[in-house]
Amino acid sequence: MDRTEATTQTGRPRGVPPRGRVRRVEDTLRQKTLVRLREAIVTGRFKPDERLVERDVCAKTGVSRSSVREALRYLESEGLVESRGRKGIFVVNLSAAEAMEIYELRKAVEAEAALHFTERASDDEVRQIAEIFAAIRTAATTDAERYWRQTDRYFDVLMLGARNSVAYELMRSLRTRIRYLRSTTTRFATPDYRQGTVAHIGGLTDALVRRDGADAAERVRTFVDRSARFAAECLAHRDEAQPAGGRRRGLQAEGRTVAPR
């Protein structure tokens, strides 16, 4: 029999994967493309206002144009990229005003979550919080990326332990932009500022472990207020560093510009 005509018992030509397996491979490739592009934006490899040309992204990632197109649509729903009509797809330039709105929401939701965590979290989740804080404390002086990623994980466990699925999904919808802000502020943070952050999270961890809800909620509010003030400074510095002709929509929307420091 001609090998090219050989088939499996199901009638499928040999060497051709089952249809379901093809779909799984395609889905995995799309997911990998999405994760890769998201990480490139969150970590600053793609800059605010940078145009994302599909063919260039394909060349850099080695994936098909359709996978890149789907990933960009998803990132647009997450608020990381935006379509500017015929000009194409651009990385969003998150304004200071938009960032402050995110911090306001974080302050309200995470403070309440801290209170509920002390009432509803399992002993295992309390242990996780303590272990993650230890990782944050170590990474603060050794690994900036691990530091902000562990901080991201810390607040994810906090939200899970609060046992409020609506609040958790709300924060998940903002998670990518929150991670973007954490990554941005970490790049600007001095060692002293990071140590201050570790001290704040350490106090919060102590309150959570003691299951002192009122103290934990107040510590979250203090921590988020501090983070918001620093983020505003970081975003102002970022905008100052943009080329003179660059887009400054966020600052213009607030009716102001940032004076040089």
- Please write the tens of the pLDDT for every residue from 174-218: 988 998 898 889 888 999 999 999 999 999 999 999 999 999 999
141 and 228: one domain? yes
- Comparing CA positions, the residue from 35, 25, 24 lying closest to residue 71 is 35
What integer is the mean pLDDT of 150-171? 96
Structure tokens at 19: 């249809």
Domain boundary among 91, 123, 153: 91
Residues 69, 119, single domain; the answer is no
pLDDT at 21 exceeding the cut of 50: no
Give me the number of domains the chain comprises. Answer: 2
Handedness of CA 142, 146, 152, 156 (dihedral sign): negative
Same domain, 155 and 248: yes
Residue 57 in domain? yes
Residue ranges making up the domain that contains 56: 11-91
87 and 171 co-located in one domain: no
State percent of the chain over pLDDT 90. Answer: 52
Residue 6 domain flag: no
User: Residue 138 belongs to a domain with what CATH number?
Assistant: 1.20.120.530
CA distance 181 to 169: 19
Closest CA to 75 of 26, 32, 35, 27: 35
pLDDT score, position 60: 75
**Which candidate, 181, 195, 179, places its Cα nearest to that of 228?**
181
- Spatial contact of 77 and 33, defined as CB atoms under 8 Å apart: no
Give, for 113, the enclosing helix (H) or strand (E). Answer: helix 96-120
Is the model's pLDDT at 248 over the cut of 60?
Answer: no
pLDDT at 240: 76
- Residues 6+ away with beta carbon under 8 Å from 144: 186, 187
Question: Environment class of residue 142 by beta-carbon count within 10 Å: exposed (0-12), middle (13-18) or buried (19+)?
Answer: exposed
Note the pLDDT of residue 253: 37
- Find the largest Cα–Cα distance for the chain: 80
Check whether residue 44 and residue 107 sit in a common domain.
no
pLDDT band at 18, cuts 50/70/90?
low
Query: Which CATH number is 40's domain given?
Result: 1.10.10.10
One domain for residues 102 and 79: no
Identify whether residues 87 and 100 lie together within a single domain.
Answer: no
Domain match, 33 and 73 both: yes
* 30 and 71 Cβ atoms separated by less than 8 Å: yes
Residues 130 and 249 in one domain: yes
Residue 259, domain member (yes or no): no
On whether the CB atoms of residues 97 and 144 are closer than 8 A, the answer is no
Residues 162 and 179 placed together within one structural domain of the fold: yes
pTM: 0.74
pLDDT digits (tens, 9 = 90+) for 71-104: 899 899 888 899 999 899 999 888 899 999 999 9
